[in-house]
Amino acid sequence: MKRRSERSSRAIRVVSGALIVLASALAAGCGVGGDEGGSGARAINWYVFNEPGGAFDKAVADCNKEAGGKYKINYVKLPTDANQQRELIVRRLAAEDDSIDLVGMDVIWTAELAEAGWILPWEGERRQVAEEGKLEGPLKTVEYNGKIWAIPFTSNTQLLWYRKDRVDPPPDDFTWDEMIDQASESGKAIEVQAAQYEGLTVWINSLIAGAGGQIVDQNGEVKVDASAERAAEIEKKLATSAAAPPGMSTNREDQARLGFESDRSDYQLNYTFIYPSAEAIKGFQDKIGWARYPRTDKGEESRPPLGGINIGVSAYAKAPDLAFDAAECLASDEHQAIAAELGGLPPTTEAVYEDEKVQKAFPFSDLLRESIDAAAPRPVTPAYSDISLAIQKSFHPPEGIDPNGLEDTLRDRIDKAGQGEIF
Amino acid sequence: MSTAEATGTRTAAPPKGKVSDRKKAERKLAWMLCAPAVIVMLLVTGYPIAYAFYLSLQKFDLRFPDDKEFVGLANYGDVLSSSTWWSDVITTLIITVASVALELVLGMAIALVMHRAIFGRGPVRAAILIPYGIVTVVAAFAWKFAFDPTSGFVFGLPLISDTWQPLNTKGGSLLVIILAEVWKTTPFMALLLLAGLALVPDELHEAAKVDGASTIQRFFRITLPLMRPAILVALLFRTLDAFRIFDTPFIIQPGGALGTETVSILGYNILINRVNLGLGSAVSILIFICVILIATLFVKGLGTSTAQQRGEV
């Protein structure tokens, strides 16, 4: 008896010792390494998502060289998940963290950060620089309450990618219904983003706008109408058809790309990054065709999604003037072209689309520009993240929603979201 | 474990008669020795709880600091009258009850194996404890990938249909969450139960054997009753843990999709994502109250059972 308990306590000691070592190793690993950015009067910390192609690294290096010691930008990488990026930024800005100078803002954050007073408006000459030569869609994403709150840097939109070797090029007035019918017949899937996350809001917003509808208008008024039910019908039709991809209700951008590359699908709705990444499979890039985002209704132009990154100046920046200078440099035409070339990120300045590098990076650059011009921005409201959660809840799971009555559910949830209630 | 035994003997032999001066001095010393710990506890738990309660009485969104106002219990009314809160409570209870029940059964079996293992006891115990040493998020990812429709190995196993997509349905997702949770924390349960098993004297078993009791009879009539305090402690720890479950569902179904949202994830969404401190604190306080309720239920059960046991022995 005694020996046994001695042995067991020794076993426990050994195991707990091992656990402590493991835990401390992990804790050390979790510590933010050299990414925290620099301090000092001239240091400008730019918090933005990690761009693996090296485009942001190059922009930072160029600007630092150009500045000649006036300022030094540190590129601080945010998590890959869009929700986590926002959480980190919001939490830090709410705490008046002065280690953030520049924010690489997702296009949907503008109203929220501006209303809270966490970013500085671009006024006078600064405003001119921010607006100069920009496409209309991206420019709208930095506008709130009649002011400009960031400089548009990169844009993004989704195209309809299809397998040239298997299906005919879609006509100009190609609709979701036609696409679903056609794919169901051939037994091939249509890749979309329908997990419960921001990507679902992106899809639903485009479907609703494509039916001539709107979720929230410029003044923050809720404008949900019958177009919400039309969007739900299309979503449910795809989810319950033979064209529904496996795991549709949990698929995000990358699962859609992998599905398309795995040969199971004829169509894919996705951002432009899928084109360069198809290079990894020999001969696959040649099989990919591109077309405009499909229509919700036959008679109505499609409204593709609009994404991208704007650069805003934190209200708690230690040297706002230097931060504005740095932002202007980072978002210059030259660096937009580099972002397109190395990162596959579409420019926001119209003229940059004529750049040779951009033309080479995007063989579909004309369609891209047309799509960005026609894109439907997501609701511009300080309660955007609440409203997006309400949309995601209302339109998920894709095969389980009931389009009848969804209009009322959605309006009710968005009202509650706007008023800061639980939904 | 040695401290538990020490306190056990002390409470078992309460001081009788009048308190001597020495006892008094000892008590005073005991209070002084405890004071730093009590003060630290008040600082790190009392203050946040009080502050959360204060926040929960206000309308307070970090993004609209100017709209801050005192609203009394309105946030609680809002939460308790919403269907979201109640459906999340039910989801959480399903996960809690199912995982703790499975863990108890499996944990008991494993504890018996560890207790009776004749050779290689060290390696056996270490091997059983490994899942508990793995970071929850890593374990959750492993289970998620195992059931992923494109990369999951589970669908290659016999008796499992290739077309089954558990992560696409509510029931399937809950099943995977429960399995991940059971896999991860059964060793903890087993460890606590093993400590309880060590308390059962061999003499009783030998006596029962002489009286002709079968193995099953001895397990239910001797082992289980004597282990009751250990079982209750194990259940208490695990139930409290399971009710606050966050990491596993957060990874397996991000955003609480498909109705897998637990109360902790609801609190996270409101506090961290929506930065609505008033409403979110109300949710946190409600979770805290639920936890206290669970703890009270168990402690009551635990108290009576130890008293009974003391009377019997």
Statement: residue A32 has pLDDT above 50: no
Question: Across chain B, what does the average pLDDT equal?
Answer: 86
Structure-token pair, residue B171 = 């029931």
Residue pLDDT, tens place only, B187-244: 999 999 999 998 888 888 889 889 888 888 888 888 888 888 889 889 999 999 999 9
Indicate whether A30 belongs to any domain: no
Taking each helix axis from N to C terminus, what angle separates A176-186 and A227-239, rounded to the nearest 10 degrees? 10
Name every chain A residue with its beta carbon within 8 A of the beta carbon of B62.
Answer: 90, 94, 116
Residue pLDDT, tens place only, B273-312: 888 999 999 999 999 999 999 999 888 877 665 555 555 4
**How close does chain A come to B220, measured CA to CA in Å?**
22
Indicate whether B143 belongs to any domain: yes
pLDDT the model gives residue A422: 83
Residues B122, A11: C-beta atoms closer than 8 Å: yes
Same domain membership, residue A255 and residue A240: yes
Name every chain B residue with its beta carbon within 8 A of the beta carbon of A392.
Answer: 255
Same domain membership, residue A268 and residue A414: yes
Name every chain A residue with its beta carbon within 8 A of the beta carbon of B84.
Answer: 422-423
Please spell the DSSP secondary structure of A225-240, one letter per residue: -THHHHHHHHHHHHHT
H helices present in A187-250, as ranges: 198-210, 227-239
pLDDT the model gives residue A1: 42
pLDDT the model gives residue A353: 92
Q: How far is CA B96 from CA B16, B104, B110, in A?
A: 43, 12, 20
pLDDT confidence of A380, banded at 50, 70, 90? Answer: confident
pLDDT mean over A310-330: 95
pLDDT confidence of A38, banded at 50, 70, 90? Answer: low
pLDDT the model gives residue A9: 53
Note down the domain range covering B244: 79-312
Same domain membership, residue A403 and residue A273: yes
Statement: residue B5 has pLDDT above 70: no
| Range in A33-47, A119-133, A250-264, A276-290 with the lowest mean pLDDT | A33-47
Indicate whether B128 belongs to any domain: yes
Same domain membership, residue A395 and residue A249: yes
Indicate whether B71 belongs to any domain: no
Statement: residue A131 has pLDDT above 50: yes
Same domain membership, residue A117 and residue A164: no
Same domain membership, residue A148 and residue A57: yes
Indicate whether A11 belongs to any domain: no
- A:270-329 residues touching chain B, CB 8 A cutoff: none
- What's the CATH number where B105 sits? 1.10.3720.10
pLDDT mean over B148-157: 81
Q: Does A21 touch chain B (CB under 8 A)?
A: no
pLDDT the model gives residue B18: 66
Indicate whether B35 belongs to any domain: no
Same domain membership, residue A295 and residue A171: yes
Split into its structural domains, chain A has a count of 2
Q: What is the DSSP letter of B257?
A: G
CA atoms lying within 13 Å on the CB side of residue B112: 11
- What's the CATH number where A94 sits? 3.40.190.10
Q: Does A27 touch chain B (CB under 8 A)?
A: no
- A:374-393 residues touching chain B, CB 8 A cutoff: 382, 385-386, 389, 392
Indicate whether A32 belongs to any domain: no
Statement: residue B157 has pLDDT above 90: no
Indicate whether A49 belongs to any domain: yes
Residue that wins the pLDDT comparison between A335 and A276: A335
Give the SS3 label for residue B153: coil
pLDDT the model gives residue A156: 94
Indicate whether B156 belongs to any domain: yes
pLDDT the model gives residue A421: 84
Residue pLDDT, tens place only, A167-204: 999 999 999 999 999 999 999 999 999 998 899 999 99
Q: Does A197 touch chain B (CB under 8 A)?
A: yes
Q: Find, among B290, B294, B288, the residue nearest to B55 by Cα.
A: B288
Winning range, highest mean pLDDT, from A23-27, A225-229, B218-222, B303-307: A225-229
pLDDT the model gives residue A184: 95
Same domain membership, residue A174 and residue A110: no
pLDDT the model gives residue B4: 42
Phi, psi at A104, each rounded to 5°: -80, 95
Of residues B63, B129, B273, nearest to A87 (C-beta): B273
- A:348-367 residues touching chain B, CB 8 A cutoff: none
pLDDT the model gives residue A25: 46
Q: What's the predicted TM-score (pTM) here?
A: 0.81
Split into its structural domains, chain B has a count of 1
Indicate whether A152 belongs to any domain: yes
Indicate whether A65 belongs to any domain: yes
Indicate whether A3 belongs to any domain: no
Phi, psi at A333, each rounded to 5°: -55, -40
Indicate whether B58 belongs to any domain: no
Statement: residue B9 has pLDDT above 70: no
How far apart (Å, rounded) are the C-alpha atoms in residues A127 and A129?
5
Residue pLDDT, tens place only, B104-152: 999 999 998 888 877 777 888 888 889 999 999 999 999 999 998 777 8
Structure-token pair, residue B80 = 């308790």
Note down the domain range covering A126: 38-156+308-374
pLDDT the model gives residue B275: 87
Indicate whether B61 belongs to any domain: no
pLDDT the model gives residue B303: 67
pLDDT the model gives residue A40: 59
H helices present in chain B, as ranges: 2-12, 21-41, 47-56, 74-80, 83-116, 121-133, 136-146, 170-197, 202-210, 215-218, 224-243, 247-252, 263-268, 277-312
pLDDT mean over B75-94: 93
What's the CA angle centered on B256, arms B250 and B258, to 5 degrees?
130
pLDDT the model gives residue A423: 82
Residues B255, A197: C-beta atoms closer than 8 Å: yes
Indicate whether B45 belongs to any domain: no
Indicate whether A130 belongs to any domain: yes
Same domain membership, residue A198 and residue A93: no
Amino acid at A150: A
